[in-house]
Amino acid sequence: MALLPILQHPDPRLRQKAPAVTVFDAGLQRLIDDMFQTMYDAPGVGLAATQVGVMLRLAVMDCAAKDCPPEPMVIINPQVLSSSDRQDMEEGCLSVPDTSEKVPRFNRLHLRALDRQGTPFEVQAEGLLAQAIQHEIDHLDGKLYIDYLSSLKRERINKKLRKQRQPA
């Protein structure tokens, strides 16, 4: 397994819409394993393939509560069938480091996706898992959570990131 570099906003690759996964080969399994390792190492609760520069509709997640056994989940070609209970939820992103803001999300959703072998499954998600699924699907569509913020808030974050990148 290997740690993959995570693209940082404003990398233009984070703005691309990823095409569906059609091949479930050994290379895809290796990519998924590397993405899990990269996500746990960060640490984060979700990572989309687009964040490591791979343009495929694939994301890994683990929304297990602290001190609970891990609950690794792979979603491939995900499709939200229904969603409800809109709420403002605190959110961050490994591609927008050291910042978090409240964004509108659905607290419940019904998801259909493929697992890592290409087998379809459905899940009724709520809370953090529902939020993470929406966040990761946005990544696959080239969207970041900061897109939901006011331009003023977004510019404040962009400014902070530019400052962090400047050598001390």
Q: Does 93 bind Ni ion (CB under 5 A)?
A: yes
Which parts of 28-87 interact with Ni ion (CB under 5 A)?
A: none
Query: CA 70 → CA 40, 91, 131, distances in Å?
Result: 10, 21, 18
Q: Which of 91, 101, 122, 136 does the annotation list as catalytic?
A: 136
Name the segment binding Ni ion (CB under 5 A); options: 20-28, 90-98, 108-116, 152-160.
Answer: 90-98
Tell me the helices (H) and strands (E) count for the chain, helix number first.
Answer: 3, 5
Query: In terms of CB distance, is 69 or 74 closer to Ni ion?
Result: 74
CB of 135 to Ni ion, least distance (A): 6
**CA dihedral sign, ordered 96, 98, 99, 105:** positive
Q: Please say if 90 is a catalytic residue.
A: no
Radius of gyration of the chain (CA): 16
Query: In terms of CB distance, is 75 or 93 closer to Ni ion?
Result: 93
Closest by Cα among 126, 1, 116, 120 to 59: 116
Tell me phi and psi for residue 132, to 5 degrees.
-60, -40
Name the segment binding Ni ion (CB under 5 A); options: 23-31, 80-88, 93-101, 126-134.
Answer: 93-101
Query: In terms of CB distance, is 58 or 93 closer to Ni ion?
Result: 93
User: Judged by CB under 5 A, how many residues of this single chain contact Ni ion?
Assistant: 1
Binding stretches for Ni ion (CB under 5 A): 93
